[in-house]
Amino acid sequence: MRFATYEHRHRTRVAVVETDGTLHQLPTPASLTDLLRSTDGLPALLDAGTTALDGPPGPHVSQVRLLPPLQPTSVRDFVTFEEHVEGVRRSIDGVGGVPEQWYAAPTFYFTNPHAIYGPGDDIPMPPGSTVLDYELEVAAVIGREGQDLTPERARDHIVGYTVLNDWSARDLQSAEMKVGLGPCKGKDTATTLGPYLVTADELDPYRDGEGFLRLALTAEVNGQVIGKDLLSNMSWTFEEMVAHASRGTRVVPGDVLGSGTCGNGGCLAELWGLRGEQTPAPLKPGDTVTLTVEGIGSVSNTVVTGTAPVPLAAARRRSRERP
């Protein structure tokens, strides 16, 4: 099934999306995140969707404004594509290769769950940035709480998947990473999710013998294809990522786990690192980025002018006086 959150006639609704785009509204609750919290994993979510499909049809998806399918409880963004690491490390840090530690475990950082945009939303330039980039990813969504999960158990905790665009201010990111902490403001302004939450069972036919999802990924800027890859080029499965994320802590309904950016043009910075120049150019106001994932759908966002940064003083050099 496919679940959408949408705005229609000034009201926000959650619905199941039929193949032809007809929406069947769920009566309660008001958000998909609340629904995940009130159910217990994929079977219960499918039951709720079946009930909605038995009800009267609503508007067509073309008649509504699609919102992010859910407001995440948290967003962990991983880095699981070796090709991406090679290119971006050269572009951002000025060094080649892949750190040996990368191969030990699926690394992630926490990004901003309060800056989530939907398909079709305008994306503001991050304050103070002139080097904006897209990042083509797929995200798994948690539907059941779990802790210290094995990869085998973790599969039952993934309720579905959605497209993720991890918008990145590369100039801010490059500067702040020199401190040895982050990324922070370089990733803080926007993350796109959408167009739907596609339940995990729908993507099982794409699963290969190792448990990877063989989905075609495409990135376009202003209608020109910039990158193409396969999701199965990840070095860890989503189940392994969930197991790692749950180690010593909890994953809870509504948590979002990004795959990390794919290779072969999954972002501009990878290409800049390989080519030694910023070609294609960084994104600017007026540019439209469209990311498409086989079996899930497309999200398309246009970059617009953002706000100017609020000025802050530089660090004061203190006396280090002690009491």
The Cα-based distances of 223 to 128, 182, 193, 218, 280 in angstroms read 27, 32, 20, 11, 13
Give the Cα separation of 167 and 179 in Å (integer): 21
54, 209 contact by CB (below 8 A): no
pTM of the entire predicted model:
0.96
Among 135, 156, 318, residue whose Cα is nearest residue 238: 156
* Other Cβ atoms closer than 10 A to 153: 15
3 state DSSP class of 287: coil
Alpha-carbon distances, residue 58 vs 30, 55, 68, 281 (angstroms): 16, 9, 19, 42
Kindly tell me if the per-residue pLDDT of 122 is higher than 70: yes
Determine contact, residues 101/43, Cβ cutoff 8 Å: no
pLDDT at residue 21 in the model: 97
Q: Measured between alpha carbons, how far is 140 from 240 in angstroms, rounded to an integer? A: 12
The answer for residues whose C-beta is within 8 angstroms of residue 211's C-beta and 6 or more apart is 151, 237, 239
Q: Does pLDDT of 124 surpass 90?
A: yes
What distance in Å separates the CA atoms of residue 279 and residue 276, rounded to the nearest whole number?
9
Say how far apart CA 167 and CA 171 lie, in whole Å.
Answer: 12
* Helix, strand or coil, per DSSP, at residue 86: helix
- Give the CATH class of 75-304: alpha beta
Q: Say yes or no to pLDDT of 8 above 80.
A: yes
| pLDDT 10s digits, 269-288 | 999 998 999 999 999 999 99
Structure tokens at 182: 């982050």
Q: How far apart are CA 73 and CA 246, in angstroms?
A: 14
User: Which pLDDT does position 29 carry in this prediction?
Assistant: 67
Report H helices in the chain.
Answer: 32-38, 42-53, 82-92, 151-154, 170-177, 238-245, 268-275
Question: What is the C-alpha separation between 140 and 257, in angstroms, rounded?
Answer: 5
Please say if the pLDDT value at position 156 is more than 90: yes
